[in-house]
Structure 1
């Protein structure tokens, strides 16, 4: 479904000097480092580690903390650089619990009906299985992205309607949040996108997270612009609202 391609595209966008993505990544690093220092856990798992750009890895490597980096696929450069470090574990897994294979089966006709409810249980169990082995869990800028490649794939295969698209997002996001353990989880995610025209008037907004996070402890919020030279979106300047929560 193009996960490696998506990771490479994200890295290339860092070279766009017109966006402040780097500030967003630094803010994420600082917040994570602060929360880890408060707890001093023996082990930390990062869900959606990617290129490690938003993870304070250098600081963590100076401690005895066991670090687990989890993603559906790791960039080859990351594997080569960190696979031999004794306190880093690289794990490749679908943290939706199998939604990728589920979507593939649906597209190939192996599932005649879209049983969306199963996605909640699969995601919850997958995240819980990780949480059982680590003292602190960080869902790092991944919640809003979990459903996207799956949804896009099913849309391209004409196997999902608009109502089901919303339900799919809700089930995947809810399962992810449910699986995070109480008292030892941090979620950082963009929650809303704002679209501005060339005269800087707000045209519309779009939710990025489809689960109610009001029951979590809100701890931080910031805004950042991505691709405001219209390379990311040819029609609008895009501003993301990112929030951080403790569970």
Structure 2
């Protein structure tokens, strides 16, 4: 799959999946901003630097995680037969997308088990965030955002599955950056807009449409995987035939 299409897919997964973010992380943003002076909270212009810092830190953590997963997949690709390793990575990616779609649509809560597993790591990371409370400067908001980015989330884990298929640390980081940018519109909303979005994403049909679209991304990934596998098989067969002729 071309890199450009993969990046667009990651962005759309972040954008569509952020209906989950607003319910989960939207409350966190609200809690973090409660420590700010009331004058700052009431002024969008003065609140903006804090929201920008929170989200910059969060997305930076996503990029670091993407780089780590991309690096790990690169090592696996060096050890395992390339065709089989890439096929396995794409199957995992497609499977996670389908699981995420079912999760967002409310049809299968499977990813919640993965979130609970990630919670065991979060209890060790979360205390570092307390050092930056109360938030009274954008630099503290940035640091807190860096911690916040490691919050256990099925949506983030699904995006990391996309990074697994990159086989490269830099591409893995870039893909998670695109995903993070996709989540920005929901989590950057303020005031009346945030309340309106909150009401919208609580609608069952909105979550189901988002889930179905992501599920289709997963189906497409698996279908493309099958096609590439077949093509690879034909190439391998052609190569063996040439060897026999020689």
Structure 1-normalised TM-score? 0.30
Q: Quick check: which has more Rg, 1 or 2?
A: 2
Higher relative contact order (CA 8 A, sep 6+): 2
Structure with the higher helix share, 1 or 2: 2
Structure 2-normalised TM-score? 0.30
Structure with the higher strand share, 1 or 2: 1
